[in-house]
């Protein structure tokens, strides 16, 4: 699961796409192991305005109403340094950052 130069695809929720001024998926180069932490590090390095909107800036803790999905799995409760699925690391599947559903 080490970064091999493959492009990591990240799908952001609509509000964060607007904040980051991007359309569609974000493509990132990740050095080292492809983990939740390294992907978010790369994302926030490229889009500093996203700092604090997905995870706490100091502790790294995921915000309560954010979820991480990939390959039809809920990875929200995985440890930040656990390698992500091979398909995410290879760029064949996106890493989904999702705002929890709510309404009424």
The least distance separating other proteins from the CB of residue 43, rounded to whole angstroms, comes to 14
Residues in Cβ contact with 40 at an 8 Å cutoff, skipping those fewer than 6 apart? 54, 55, 80
The least distance separating other proteins from the CB of residue 16, rounded to whole angstroms, comes to 6
Interface positions with other proteins (CB under 8 A) = 13, 15-16, 18-19, 49, 51-54, 57-58, 63, 65-66, 99-100
Residues in Cβ contact with 24 at an 8 Å cutoff, skipping those fewer than 6 apart? 17
Cβ distance to other proteins smaller for residue 2 or 18? 18
């Amino acid at each position: 699961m080490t970064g091999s130069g493959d492009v990591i695809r990240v799908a952001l929720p609509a509000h964060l796409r607007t904040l980051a001024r991007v359309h569609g998926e974000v493509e990132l180069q990740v050095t080292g192991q492809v983990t939740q932490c390294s992907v978010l590090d790369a994302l926030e390095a490229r889009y500093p305005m996203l700092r604090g909107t997905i995870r706490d800036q100091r502790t790294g803790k995921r915000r309560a109403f954010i979820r991480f999905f990939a390959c039809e799995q809920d990875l929200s409760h995985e440890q930040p340094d656990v390698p992500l699925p091979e398909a995410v690391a290879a760029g064949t599947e996106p890493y989904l950052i999702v705002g929890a559903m709510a309404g009424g």
